[in-house]
Structure 1
């Protein structure tokens, strides 16, 4: 009889299991008796339906918009009616609204939705809610819904947004991918899937559910086993049944392929949530423009929105007050379940009321700490993974194991980095090394190749506008047709005088594609001379430059200028408005061949010369390619980079280094609306600038601005350019500690191309770029201006730290350039002279000292300007420096002109002596003259011309001379008379200005 009750209980258990199991099979789950929380649809649109909960019990509280992820049903905020988000928020005096994107596979055109469609929809909803309630809106988003919230806030620049709350929403996606997947492997895979899979494939809801479960298969299997084991106990299952059914069946909706592709491309491949510069409907957007307060919920066991990725918001939105709260749950537990009901949503309600002025700051939140930009881990601790079943990993020997794993990981990352750079760089160098005189290579050809490879991707960013490779390439072809209509032919020298705008780059590329020779023209009073030297009859100009060109050019072709333009001078003969030419009606002649330029062909003519004779600088396609490929490799440019093209295109650094390297790297090109601290800070974040180009002192007013609105957490990784003074270089590195500087240098003939890649030696121009011409330093008699020979009669190579003449070995006999010398260091060798004196240190790095004709020949020996400029520029109170000679060769004086950084004129004799302490007395300037300001050229090079015309400065309290001991003393009329120095500078002008890059 004892066994009968046990048998009865077993039988009851079997019957209950059968009954419950049948209900699950027939109905999809157990009937819990719960009903959805009441809501009213306030607006219906093709992209969404807007729900407003508790329509019959509106509490007049602050409006909150809850945003679900793309793959999760909007019901995620109402899974359990009494413990769900909308119920808890409403109970705390808040007005909850939910955007329901529906299931794309059940909506008209749903599977064609893009990521931008979701952001624009949220933007519209915020306007609607603000109009309806008259109050700013609080945005709340879970997972990707939180990413939508960030993006929409940035898109609106925080207008009418009171606060942001996100749950497990990654920002620095590559800092910690789900399950610890390696970013360097997954990012390229994501690009492949974005370009080749999701452009033709969508993800149905069942696959989204399966993918979510596969992220944590142990937990998913265990949940199902627990459900089956308790299938007989209905009372035990009912409290969790709504949550189980949501996860197992009801909670998942389809993903549209275009939206996934855009998500992968912008926020995984390029990680632009943290760097900025992502694109929403042709608008450039950055999280740096979020100014409303942010609360981010972080899951201690979240292996999808991992803590390191979630905390990226602190760096991405430097102008926002960012808080966080950590919960000991996984990804789903942040918004659904007992912990979310007890902590997540009550904390969210108190956060919102605090910002509405209706309560104190919640105790559970704290300011988010600044995390390093390079994360060393996901942020999900091993203990959290074990506790929540995310990984069944034994913790024995954890200390030693972690050290071994860390060491192995470091080795792996280093190896992968080397491999990655090799994979990127070697093909470029191989292509550069294979270029022969008959190889077709040009700027136009490379841009055409990029358009074929990356047609829809962004290329030009300018004033919030975005142009893709395809759009730019089409514009180039149209301009080519316009040039043909205007009679321009291959080989013709055509001037280009345009501001650095998209139309200027298009004009240069179009002339290259046509096979013409491009002559970039700086604004200058010597325009007539430049046109004559370069044999230019036709100039392409923008409306701004038109008036300057008309008096000197035979014909002016006007291009660009935007919509609000008027060209009253256009007569169809002397002045032609190219924008009025219909490219479709132009008959292309039979002689036209796209991108005909060969490596040996002349491609560009630049001009050089500072305060001296103007000289033209011919550049072949091969020379341009050497600079472009070499600079792209040195800067490791990829399509992940956005290059800020600040340098004028008429300067070698802008044309060869910046534009050339950017095209070779396939990077985005951002063009500035103006060079200044305000525009720089705004556009760095908005465009997501990773590389900044410069020339000479261009960065001076930016990095020395005490109110520069840019934090240490910015996307800039590199500055590239030429001519930066050592003192300014120091300031750039100090202001942007996470960024490097690559200083490039090209000789005037373009034969030698050097770069200081490491940036470790401030002021050095470094070493030759790989696959560019070999260089050597020839021993040189500075006074007699001739080579020094060895006993065999060949030119002797200069010793370490000996000043000598820089020579570049030539490989192609029909290059344009300077005089070619033969049999220099040995029989049958060929070297081009640079006109530049350098010294080579023991490590093989080169340092400029002077042009051959700019050496100051004093009675004490030669004085080199560049070491003086470098030393004085590092004086903490010196802004700019120029050096010029006074007198006749053999008795010249070196005058250094300095301008102060501050109006207080804090320069002192003792501080000048300290600044020049690294130079011997004979190497120091004879005179130091402090002035209020030093003018600069259009390329921001300091100009000494106006000072040299004055000769010696008049004695004053701001002029010092070097005495016989090397110390500096105030220059007086008595001293001037004693030394019998001439005030006139009639003999001071150098016969030829040094030719520089």
Structure 2
């Protein structure tokens, strides 16, 4: 796939950043000191950092949603009451408390209380139901659960499949329970009412939490199978919140972070909320993302900082332009997945000065961030990392004749490996066998260990990297490796395509996987000229990367963090008998347009009538 010249960071570009670098050095030093807690007896973690923020900014706003506005003192005392009650009910250090609440202040205060008690929050995905939800719960054997009223019916459907004592099955009403605890249904205990008379002082247990203690279990999305529970320790909370809040964003008490991302995932909870806490800043949240209400909320909360994922930004760009587009106080944003094609457009239209694109995974040990504010990069990492050659068919890194892995050159895509050491430990999963699968041994020398991220990156100079794709999302066709991300970026430049998801599918009697894309028209199917669309694709990308099949969808299914459900799309491929109401089109060899795939066309493809 082609690259633009701006993808490479040059000496000239770095020299122009020297004033920024000089200005950033003091806070980088401060941030690194705060991030690297090494004393095993030093209190640290979520509860400790929130208490420190409360000391710095006791009367400053901490949590905002709709008409709710809580100061740091109010939020801290609220969490303290809950933490004291949890302890009184027998919750001990290391116990797991499942948390099943949608985005609202009660979710964050509950997680904070659990951390202060020294227990572990299992952050259940609020979109999960039935078998998946029961699996996620039983995976971590919780000693207790806290359920929001909005998810009561969902939990009740699996309650008999989970061994949690009724005395520790807590309920939180779907209202502002700081002042109005509400009434619990039968069989549940109202956590807010039960903790109402508990002490407001910081519990002693929050001083007994250390860097190697587990803070959360964060679940993988489960798009390729049942979710796994990733371990997120308090030491990692210190590294994450300091790296992003202090070093990358330089958060201060007068900052306000606006976040619509689900708070059961690390980007919303650890990056966005963690950054706010590090700066003793306000954290404004919304129950669910709304493109039409986004900038209205930003102005209402006087937000200075946004949390994002790439698709969220594209939804905002797709909204009709308005004279109010730059009427806000936002100067910086942090998140991941912003496509190069949308980067410049978003920055120009909405006037955001600093896009701090990051790379991290809740189950990994490395993070990158775009501290120096270059375009189209995830920035650099202070951890040790390498990009290595890999076998495209198996996805495994290759080894040379001596048994060592091979590093790739600059501007060449490779598989990202992160060194596991005292500076960057790997917390892994609750299942040791799953952790073992992602650890590589004897990579460049005897005894070294690296985390296999499963992601493809490109080194674009001066330690900066560019995300290319998930390893499983690339495919090989005509002897060439095709990045689905880059195909999607090009298709999204077409004026009549609103969404695009690229993936590889198998064709009988061919090698590799042919390109296919699910697309959502900007207006309607009738607006798509398939001859023109094919000509556009052939002009913009190499012949081997042009999708041979298109699937037209009215709406694209996504996870809570806007990840596309590619596994299902791959399985259904180009068979109209499996794609339901979605029409499928094929570019047949020797033709100049995409044609509708009917049973006869499908049969001809399977019979080898067309020479691909």
TM bin, normalised by shorter chain, reads: 0.7 to 0.9
Q: Residue 942 of structure 1 is aligned with which of 552, 564, 567?
A: 564
The TM-score normalised by the length of structure 1 is: 0.52
Secondary structure of 2:293 counterpart = helix
| 2:261–2:289 contact (8 Å) kept in structure 1 | no
Specify whether residues 685 and 796 from structure 1 end up closer, same or farther in structure 2 by C-alpha distance, changes over 3 A only. same
Kindly indicate whether the alpha-carbon contact (under 8 Å) linking 1:676 and 1:701 is maintained by their aligned counterparts in 2.
no
Please give the TM-score of this superposition, normalised by the length of structure 2.
0.82
Q: Which residue of 2 aligns with 1:631?
A: 244
User: In the alignment, is residue 753 of structure 1 matched against residue 367 of structure 2?
Assistant: yes
Aligned length: 561
Partner of residue 228, structure 2: 615
Shift of 1:585: 5.2
* Structure 2 equivalent of residue 834 of structure 1: 453
Question: CA 1:921 to 1:501, structure 2 compared with 1: closer, same or farther past 3 Å?
Answer: same
Residue deviations 1:828-875 (CA, integer Å, cap 9, x gap): 432111122333334544333443444435564544322222322333
Contact 1:746 1:752 in 2 (8 A): yes
Residue 659 in structure 1 maps to residue 273 in structure 2:
yes
- Correspondences of 1:359-370 after superposition (within 5 Å): none
Q: CA deviation at 1:880?
A: 1.7
Instruction: Map 1:186-225; keep pairs closer than 5 Å.
Output: none
Task: Give the C-alpha shift of residue 686 in structure 1.
Answer: 2.1
Q: 1:424 to 1:975 in 2, by over 3 A?
A: same
The C-alpha deviation readout for 1:669-710, integer Å capped at 9, x for no partner, is 112365324532322222111111123423444332216573
Bigger-Rg structure (1/2): 1
Asked whether 1:532 is paired with 2:138, we answer yes
1:816 matches 2:435: no
Counterpart residue number, 1:970? 595
Residue 535 of structure 2 corresponds to residue 927 of structure 1: no
**1:884 equivalenced with 2:503 (yes/no):** yes
Q: Does the Cα contact within 8 Å between 1:484 and 1:588 map onto a contact in 2?
A: no
CA contact (8 A) 1:749 1:834 kept: no
Provide the residue aligned with 2:185 in structure 1: 569
In 2 relative to 1, CA 527–972 (structure 1 residues): closer, same or farther, beyond 3 Å?
closer
- Report the counterpart of residue 13 of structure 2 in structure 1: none
- Structure 1 residue matching 2:90: 3-state secondary structure: coil
User: For residues 981-992 of structure 1, what are the structure 2 equivalents within 5 Å?
Assistant: none
The answer for the alignment partner of 1:457 in structure 2 is 60
* 1:476 corresponds to 2:89: no
Alpha-carbon spacing, 1:671–1:545, altered in 2? closer, same or farther (3 Å): same
| Distance in 2, Cα, partners of 1:690 & 1:718 | 7
Out of 591, 606, 611, the position equivalent to 1:980 is: 606
User: 1:116-265 residue pairs with structure 2 within 5 A?
Assistant: none
Q: Tell me, in whole angstroms, the C-alpha distance in 1 between the residues paired with 2:19 and 2:238.
A: 28
Question: Does 2:517 correspond to 1:896?
Answer: yes
Greater mean deviation of Cα atoms: 669-678 or 447-456: 669-678
3-state DSSP of counterpart to 2:59: coil
Contact 2:484–2:502, Cα closer than 8 Å, also in 1: yes
The answer on 1:716 being equivalent to 2:330 is: yes
Offset at residue 800 of structure 1 (A): 2.6
Q: How does 1:213-612 map to 2 (within 5 A)?
A: 421-435=24-38, 439-523=42-126, 524-525=128-129, 526-550=132-156, 551-552=158-159, 553=162, 554=164, 555-559=168-172, 561-562=175-176, 566-571=182-187, 575-584=188-197, 593-612=205-224
How far apart are 1:535 and its partner, in Å?
2.5
SS of structure 2 residue aligned to 1:545: helix
The alignment partner of 2:29 has SS state of helix
- Following the alignment from structure 2 to structure 1, what is the Cα–Cα distance between the partners of residues 115 and 219? 18
**What SS class does the counterpart of residue 937 from structure 1 fall into?**
coil
Distance between the aligned counterparts of 2:213 and 2:60, measured in 1? Answer: 31
- 1:879 match: secondary structure: strand
The CA distance in 1 between the partners of 2:244 and 2:287, in whole Å, is 25
Aligned mates of 1:463, 1:840 — CA distance in 2: 43
Q: In 1, are the aligned partners of 2:99 and 2:123 still within 8 Å (CA)?
A: yes
How far did residue 588 of structure 1 move?
Answer: 11
How far residue 899 of structure 1 moved from its aligned partner, in angstroms, is: 0.8
In the alignment, the residues of structure 1 paired with residue 385 and residue 141 of structure 2 have an alpha-carbon distance, to the nearest angstrom, of 32
Q: CA 1:674/1:778 → structure 2, altered by over 3 Å: closer, same or farther? A: closer
Q: Tell me, which stretches of 5 or more residues in structure 2 are unaligned?
A: 1-16, 429-434
CA change 1:807–1:488 in 2 (3 A) is: same
Q: Please give the secondary structure, in 1, of the residue aligned with 2:451.
A: strand
1:901/1:420 CA distance change after superposition, 3 Å: same
Distance 1:913 1:615 in 2: 43
Q: Which residue of 2 aligns with 1:200?
A: none
Deviation at 1:477, TM superposition (A): 0.5
Q: CA deviation at 1:513?
A: 1.1
- Among 569, 581, 586, the alignment partner of 1:961 is 586
Q: Tell me, in whole angstroms, the C-alpha distance in 1 between the residues paired with 2:24 and 2:461.
A: 27
Give distance in 2, aligned partners of 1:847 and 1:966. Answer: 36
Q: State the shift of 1:662 in Å.
A: 1.5
1:726-760 deviation digits (Å, cap 9, x = unpaired):
44445422421343322222135221212244554
Alpha carbons of structure 1 residues 850 and 535: separation in structure 2 relative to 1, 3 Å: farther
Structure 1 residues 709 and 544: CA distance shift in structure 2, 3 A: farther
In structure 2, distance between residues paired with 1:793 and 1:582: 59
Preserved CA contact (<8 Å) 1:961 1:971: yes
Q: 1:429–1:978: structure 2 CA closer, same or farther, 3 Å change rule?
A: same
Q: Deviations over 1:879-901 (max 9, x none)?
A: 22223343389443332101122
SS at match of 1:896: strand
**1: distance between equivalents of 2:39 and 2:535?**
53
SS in 2 for 1:716: coil
Change (3 A) 1:970 1:726: farther
Measured in 2, the distance between the counterparts of 1:957 and 1:492 equals 47
Task: Name the CA shift for 1:864/1:700 in 2 (closer, same or farther; >3 Å).
Answer: closer
Q: Distance in 2 between matches of 1:478 and 1:801?
A: 53
Q: Give the whole-Å Cα distance in 2 for the aligned partners of 1:963 and 1:748.
A: 42
1:853–1:679 distance in 2 versus 1, CA, 3 Å: closer
Offset at 1:507?
A: 0.8
Query: What is the rounded CA distance, in whole Å, between the counterparts of 2:466 and 2:529 in structure 1?
Result: 27
On the 8 A contact 2:82/2:110 being kept in 1, the answer is yes
Q: Please give the per-residue CA displacement for 1:596-653, whole angstroms capped at 9, x wherever unaligned.
A: 2221222211111453212222122222322222112212222231100211111221
SS in structure 1 at match of 2:415 = strand
Q: Given the alignment, which residue of 346, 349, 352 partners 1:732?
A: 346
Corresponding residue number in structure 2 for 1:794: 404
In 2 relative to 1, CA 871–596 (structure 1 residues): closer, same or farther, beyond 3 Å? farther
Q: Quote the Cα distance in structure 1 between the aligned partners of 2:283 and 2:538.
A: 40
Inter-partner Cα distance in structure 1 for 2:490 and 2:38:
41
2:487 to 850, 855, 868: 868
SS in 1 for 2:303: coil
Shift of the 849–924 alpha-carbon distance from structure 1 to 2, 3 Å rule, reads farther
Partners of 1:569 and 1:492 lie apart in 2 by 25
Question: What's the secondary structure of 2:488's corresponding residue?
Answer: helix
CA-based RMSD: 3.3
1:543–1:567 contact (8 Å) kept in structure 2 = no
Distance 2:37 2:84 in 1: 32
Give the direction of change, closer, same or farther, for the CA distance of 1:437–1:961 in structure 2 (3 Å limit).
farther
